[in-house]
Structure 1
């Protein structure tokens, strides 16, 4: 392990820790949740993970799973979810004051003119909005939730780029970064566009399902799906016995794993959620239709690509078995000819 690899690994983890700490501080200042400073215990866990990674792994990074990215997500995602929940409490509070029964996300125009100024609870009164009675605080919560959602994507991509490559080649790393950029744009659009819809903004269940699907899709950043196995040279000899585990690992190559992960963790859940919003809450907006169609096309293309990869894999397996059978027949013929050549002639009868 070179000094440069160690320096990159330490720098990336410092970047993750600094950004996570900023999110924790912003959450505590906006909401007053002092107990959330306990999240800074992740500093000790991150230091332990850094020590183990640098001590054990010669590439200064793990191959299939990235613990540093997982710890960063544990650090940054809960503050974003709590800020969104905090803002939703205020929207419910204003919804209860409204005579129109509409759920507003922005209160600078229509909602303020209809409902007037914000009603503050006097000391000793009942808190009707779970502590969220200030529109300025609501605006801060929404603003910082969006800021941390955007900067988190930049930090994840930048950290993967600036960090040690591990066992990846430069070609694999470039492909990974391009894939992560496209994934990040789709994730950011999903969480920002669906949360601010009027039909979902005041629905606790839908908001938490949306945030849960978004957090689930973020786990893709913790997987190293571009690491490929080196092809081993074949050794002439008897064909080995078929191991079921080895057969499955060989069949499910990196491309198949990447496609299945994308279908299960992103495009499939995103498409399902958008279709649910369209047909359940009757939101047929132009933007919703476009992104639903985009997710549907991506989902179908990935399923089709999976089908193509499986078919090509089976064809390659049949050709390989055919070549092996042909080579075995040639070897048997050669042995037979050599044996005939070495067979002694029949001795002449002396009698």
Structure 2
């Protein structure tokens, strides 16, 4: 392991820790809840993870699972979710106090005067109208900067076993994923039909947090082709052939379908048909997720079919080679010999 790899690994973990600590400070300051400071215990866990990684892993990074990114998500996601939770609680309080029974996301003086709520009144002793706006503002900032930190940390950190070509493809994939994640959580939470619905907000934040776990996996990199020893089995097994195709591309597609596009599409369809939100933006992003979902399922089908065709072709080639070898052996065992006869 080179000094540069160690320096990169330490720098990226310091970046994760600084951003997570900043989120904890903002959350504890706005809400004045002291027990949030216990989240800083993750500093000790992060130091332990750094020591183990630098001591054990020669690449200064793990191949399939990134514990540093997982610890960073444990650090940054709870403050964002709690800020959204307190903002939701304040919106519900203002909805109960409102005569029009309209769920407001952005409050102004006119709305406040109509609802007969002063700026000093709070829903649960935590947020006022001023701190509510600040909570939503900081929540959006941390959501945006978190995506930049995740992508930048993967770029600036050690490549591990990845080549430069694999890393570039991985960063492009992560950028597209991050944009879709950010749009999903910001656009769906601020809808009038969902902003005051506690169950829907919880489900949206849960799906968003679930999709973020993709950043802890290293399965989206393109796997290099390697020379493999061909089996000399006499029969073609379709189950074994299908299982053998579950390499990096297959797993990456399955993870994207299960952890992002599938849940996003399901949630958007549920919002459209349960709360009757057929806005132009909702229809566009639902169609986009639907197209991506179908394309990924189609790609999975193509990968399986191509793998099965390659397996059958390899089996036929091995059978032909085996017959040729048997013929040569048989011919070698029946030579033409000269027999000397005695002279009469």
Q: Into which bin does the TM-score normalised by the smaller protein fall?
A: over 0.9
Match of residue 131 from structure 2: 137
Match of residue 42 from structure 2: 42
Output the TM-score relative to the length of structure 1. 0.92
Q: Using the TM superposition, name which of 226-235 and 44-53 deviates more.
A: 226-235
- The answer on whether the counterparts of 1:61 and 1:165 sit within 8 Å (CA) in structure 2 is yes
Match of residue 61 from structure 1: 61
Provide the C-alpha distance between the structure 2 equivalents of 1:227 and 1:75, rounded to a whole number of angstroms. Answer: 29
In the TM superposition, residue 266 of structure 1 has moved relative to its aligned partner by: 0.1
Instruction: Determine whether 1:51 maps to 2:51.
Output: yes
- The answer on whether the counterparts of 1:157 and 1:180 sit within 8 Å (CA) in structure 2 is yes
1:61-97, Cα deviation, whole Å (9 max, x unpaired):
0000000000000000000000000111111111111
Provide the C-alpha distance between the structure 1 equivalents of 2:316 and 2:236, rounded to a whole number of angstroms. Answer: 17
Instruction: Pick closer, same or farther for the CA change 1:211–1:233 going to 2, 3 Å.
Output: closer
Match of residue 181 from structure 1: 175
1:191-247, Cα deviation, whole Å (9 max, x unpaired):
000000010111111001000000000000000012636513547x95599999986
Instruction: Pick closer, same or farther for the CA change 1:244–1:35 going to 2, 3 Å.
Output: farther
Instruction: Pick closer, same or farther for the CA change 1:309–1:227 going to 2, 3 Å.
Output: closer
- The answer on whether the counterparts of 1:216 and 1:265 sit within 8 Å (CA) in structure 2 is yes
Provide the C-alpha distance between the structure 1 equivalents of 2:85 and 2:34, rounded to a whole number of angstroms. Answer: 16
Match of residue 197 from structure 1: 191
Q: Following superposition of structure 1 onto structure 2, how do residues 89-238 of structure 1 map, counting pairs within 5 Å?
A: 89-108=89-108, 111-118=111-118, 120=120, 129-225=123-219, 226=221, 228=223, 231-234=226-229, 238=232
Provide the C-alpha distance between the structure 1 equivalents of 2:195 and 2:243, rounded to a whole number of angstroms. Answer: 44
Q: Give the length in aligned residue pairs.
A: 343
In the TM superposition, residue 144 of structure 1 has moved relative to its aligned partner by: 0.4
Q: Which runs of 5+ in 1 are unaligned?
A: 122-127
In the TM superposition, residue 108 of structure 1 has moved relative to its aligned partner by: 1.4
Provide the C-alpha distance between the structure 2 equivalents of 1:302 and 1:294, rounded to a whole number of angstroms. Answer: 12
Instruction: Pick closer, same or farther for the CA change 1:350–1:131 going to 2, 3 Å.
Output: farther
1:148-201, Cα deviation, whole Å (9 max, x unpaired):
000000000000000000000000000000000000000000000000001011
Provide the C-alpha distance between the structure 2 equivalents of 1:289 and 1:227, rounded to a whole number of angstroms. Answer: 32
Output the TM-score relative to the length of structure 2. 0.94
Match of residue 75 from structure 1: 75
Match of residue 270 from structure 1: 264
- The answer on whether the counterparts of 1:132 and 1:138 sit within 8 Å (CA) in structure 2 is no
In the TM superposition, residue 115 of structure 1 has moved relative to its aligned partner by: 1.8
Instruction: Determine whether 1:294 maps to 2:288.
Output: yes
In the TM superposition, residue 118 of structure 1 has moved relative to its aligned partner by: 1.7
Provide the C-alpha distance between the structure 1 equivalents of 2:237 and 2:315, rounded to a whole number of angstroms. Answer: 16
In the TM superposition, residue 133 of structure 1 has moved relative to its aligned partner by: 5.0
Provide the C-alpha distance between the structure 1 equivalents of 2:28 and 2:237, rounded to a whole number of angstroms. Answer: 54
Provide the C-alpha distance between the structure 2 equivalents of 1:23 and 1:246, rounded to a whole number of angstroms. Answer: 48
In the TM superposition, residue 253 of structure 1 has moved relative to its aligned partner by: 1.2
- The answer on whether the counterparts of 1:89 and 1:132 sit within 8 Å (CA) in structure 2 is no
Instruction: Pick closer, same or farther for the CA change 1:186–1:269 going to 2, 3 Å.
Output: same
Instruction: Pick closer, same or farther for the CA change 1:72–1:101 going to 2, 3 Å.
Output: same
- The answer on whether the counterparts of 2:6 and 2:54 sit within 8 Å (CA) in structure 1 is yes
In the TM superposition, residue 132 of structure 1 has moved relative to its aligned partner by: 3.7
Provide the C-alpha distance between the structure 2 equivalents of 1:37 and 1:242, rounded to a whole number of angstroms. Answer: 60
SS at structure 2 position matched to 1:340: coil
In the TM superposition, residue 138 of structure 1 has moved relative to its aligned partner by: 0.2
Two-structure CA RMSD over aligned residues (Å): 2.5
Q: Which runs of 5+ in 2 are unaligned?
A: none
Provide the C-alpha distance between the structure 2 equivalents of 1:167 and 1:219, rounded to a whole number of angstroms. Answer: 20
In the TM superposition, residue 110 of structure 1 has moved relative to its aligned partner by: 5.0
